[in-house]
Chain A
Amino acid sequence: MSKYAAVLLGGLLLAPLSPAHADVFFTLEQARTKHWQETPMVEVPIHFTEQQMDSIEDASGTRVFNDKLKAWKTKTGGWFIVDQVIGKHEMIDMAVSIDSQGVVKALDVMKYVESYGDEVKHPKWLAQFTGVDGTQHLKLDHQIDNISGATLSCRHITDGVNRWAHTWQQVLKNL
């Protein structure tokens, strides 16, 4: 059994157990400044009712898995939202800004902890989402280009934008 143990231990030693580190691309303040510069805004506590969650899900075709949303509103009716979408193993932290007409103004990946697929943080790929609103349902390989090797993350960020656009439509624009 000693040789058996040696193979297992040898195998494990070949794989250095470095502690996992999260790739933080933007802090909350950095993302807010990037999207809105110094525009003043106030945090608005959002707690969805079941009916609101259902209507967002129906309109966006995407599951609403959290009944709370971290959101800030500007004086001109724009919104800055910090939320999460599903990654392969963990959640991906996102920052999205929506203007007073419900149009996506900016989108950024704040934190990404998966081992691959972080190409979704590239501004060129994220730029596909600026200017969209809830009038069309975004789909990967249709309105949004996929990144090969990062398909799961691309899909969930696309779903996230559909969800936020309809969150504005169903809830935020009335606040």
Chain B
Amino acid sequence: MPMKKATHNSLLSGVFLAIAMVSTPVLAGENQWIYAKGTDTRPEGSFEFKISDTIRVGKGSGDYVFHDIRPEIEYGITDSLTISAELVYFDHNFSGIEAGNDPVRETQEGNGGSVNEFQLSGYEVALKYNILSPYKDMFGLSLGLAYEHRDRYRLDGADIDQDSFTTTVYLQKDFLDDTLIFVLNPKAEFERRKSPGSVLEEEISLELMAAVSYRFMPKWTIGLEYRSQEDHLSVEENGEFEPGVARSSFDLSDVRLGDRFQAGQYLGPTLHYAEQRWWATGGILWQFQGGGGFSKGGKNFDEHEKYHAGFAFGYEF
């Protein structure tokens, strides 16, 4: 059973909140969509505080609402290099999930009962480095690298011990005097997760975000966002890998992409408003196609949900 990390997390919360409170007002870069991001990095020496809540709703049976809440601080080390740190809070409310949807039903509530839990679930630190600017080069290009630790499972809040590294490529092309913006974010996440018992999961998650936004009047931007996510999962229990499944591995001496476990694709509108010091973004993405794992009606419902509603708020210091 993974060790609980309450003390560790409390300390992190304290440090994070202390940093947030003593920060004096200075400057911005912002989320124009729910998942996709542009290539901007923060100006040197400037801070931004962000808080986002991505609400994932519906598992195709019973009731399921999951809030993924992330307060975050971003800081511009140089004009081209931004560092960020965020805490990860999970709020799960679900009941009546049908048998067969194991990731939600079996891990914590084998009886299909109800769960209502709010938990500090981990943290993430990330770097973003800008190489090309969409405002003066042919297109914008930035690279991202992140480390995340979680001790709560995203799907149901169960005890886990998970470490992951994420690499992201940010591409951006602007038109109409930078009022029409297209972005593309291919992303690869390498996760190693220990669950209660002797289960070790290694997962390579591949994501692709594509989005467009148009500034239709000063301060207001409307957008459309697409997100595709799939994972390639290897489960090892008591030293044995799942039979009949080509395994994924990201050990330096053995890198390979095994069988795809599941996939889901989403599409939906976003709206963004920005003032001089703060901005807010809202949007909703519906799963329109999914497969693998626990799927029904051409949609996946173990790793994916019916729709994701996202809200984010940022304040520039």
Residue numbers of A with Cβ under 8 A of B are 1, 3-4, 7-8, 10-12, 14-18, 20-22, 62-63, 65, 86, 88-91, 113-117, 140-141, 146, 148-152, 154-156, 159
CA of A117 to CA of B309, assembled, Å: 32
- Chain B residue at minimum C-beta to C-beta distance from A18: B277
Contact A15 B313 (CB under 8 A): yes
Task: Please name all residues of chain B whose beta carbon is closer than 8 Å to the beta carbon of A7 when the two chains form the complex.
Answer: 51, 69, 71, 89
Given the known interface contacts A12-B51, A20-B276, A113-B276, the answer about A141 and B136 at a Cβ–Cβ threshold of 8 Å is: yes
* A20 contact set on B, CB distance < 8 A: 275-277
Q: Which residue of B lies closest to A118 (CB)?
A: B27
Whether B71 and A151, one on each chain, are in contact in the complex, defined by CB atoms closer than 8 angstroms, is no
Residues of A within 8 A of B135 (CB): 140, 151-152, 154-155
Interface of A is mostly: loop
- Known contacts A116-B43, A152-B135: A86-B177 contact under CB 8 Å: yes
Interface residues of B in 60-100 (CB under 8 A from A): 67, 69, 71, 76, 79-80, 89, 91
Q: CB distance B276 to A21 under 8 Å?
A: yes
Closest to A17 in B: B278
Nearest A residue (CB) for B93: A1
B237 near A: Cβ within 8 Å?
no
Contact call B218/A149, Cβ cutoff below 8 A: no
Q: Across the interface, name the chain A residue whose C-beta is closest to B272.
A: A89
Distance (whole angstroms) from the CB of B167 to the closest CB of chain A: 25
Interface contact A14-B20, CB-CB below 8 Å: yes
A146-B275 Cα distance, complex, nearest whole Å: 25
User: Please, which residues of chain A bring their CB within 8 A of the CB of B89?
Assistant: 4, 7
Q: Which residues of A contact B21 (CB under 8 A)?
A: 14
- Residues from chain A with Cβ under 8 Å of B277 in the complex: 18, 20, 115
For chain B residues 9-64, which have a beta carbon within 8 Å of chain A? Answer: 17, 20-21, 25, 27-28, 43-44, 46, 49, 51, 53
Q: Is the pair B178, A14 in contact by a Cβ cutoff of 8 Å?
A: no
> Which 8 pairs between the two chains have the least Cβ-Cβ distance?
A15-B315, A11-B51, A149-B43, A20-B276, A116-B27, A148-B79, A149-B79, A3-B118
